[in-house]
Amino acid sequence: MAKQRRAESEAEAGTALGRKDYDNALAALHVELVHMQNWIKASGTKVCVVFEGRDGAGKGGTIKAITERVSPRVFRVVALPAPTEREKTQMYMQRYIPHLPAAGEVVIFDRSWYNRAGVERVMGFASDEQVDVFLHAVPLMERAIVGSNVLLLKYWLEVTPEEQTRRLQSRIEDGRKTWKLTEMDLKSYSRWYDYSRARDAMFAASDTEFAPWHVVRSDNKRSARLNIISHLLASVPYERIKSKKITLPARQKPGNYKAPDYPYRYIPEKY
């Protein structure tokens, strides 16, 4: 079973980059992300990263790869649920604005305000008029964000129909992944070309010089993750900050301390 799962994992991530090479490359990039984090904190830089793309394109895995070795107090992931009844009556952008970064923060949106141009448009949650208003307004809003000294990076992960089918089918068959498959995913699956049209309209309206879209071919998950992290690092003008050499202090001597004869409730050691 373990061998089968490893084989499935290899197939899912793609075969062009072996696990060992991937792990080594990712470890090196993680070191650079820590250096970038230190510089962002020290300089008060504000970074906002938006991830959009097809269902099953690998957004979640990429975000996990970015954040697994950095501080959650610096790198904040925002994945908003469906809007409440009150939020539905607000100005559309109102629920997203409070999550934008302050000084010394990196905010990563796992889907973003572009829901209006994508799933809301395709699935009928927003009217044509609402979508048109959004597409007209979004460049103005993003110019204001960039004008507030926020480095705004937008990534679109693109996957082929065949690979999307394979990944969604895997979610059905693998008990570890069933939580990833929502009713919306199932309803959206058959609407491939409606989503293509929505993407095209979104790009036409919002792929600007000051906030361009960066497209990532993500059929190979490993390569896509490494390429995105590399691009992110290249897009932030960070410098390595020299830190003091860290040495562990001497541990205190026990003195008159004696361990109590206490019946600790240890958990069962099954492994």
What's residue 15's pLDDT? 53
Confidence of residue 177 (pLDDT cuts 50, 70, 90): confident
**Quick one: CA torsion of 86, 87, 92, 98, rounded to 10 degrees?**
130
Q: Worst-scoring range by mean pLDDT, 67-81, 86-100, 105-119, 172-186? A: 172-186
Question: From CA 260, how far away is CA 170, in angstroms rounded?
Answer: 51
The stretch 181-190 carries a mean pLDDT of 84
What's residue 101's pLDDT? 98
What's residue 147's pLDDT? 98
32-70 pLDDT, tens digit per residue, is 999 999 999 999 999 999 999 999 999 999 999 999 999
205-223 pLDDT, tens digit per residue, is 999 999 999 999 999 999 9
Strands of the sheet containing 46-53, edge to edge, are: 75-78, 105-110, 46-53, 150-158, 213-217
Confidence of residue 184 (pLDDT cuts 50, 70, 90): confident
Higher pLDDT, 5 or 173: 173
Is 0.85 topped by the overall pTM?
yes
Which amino acid, 57?
Answer: A
Domains and CATH numbers, the chain: 43-235 (3.40.50.300)
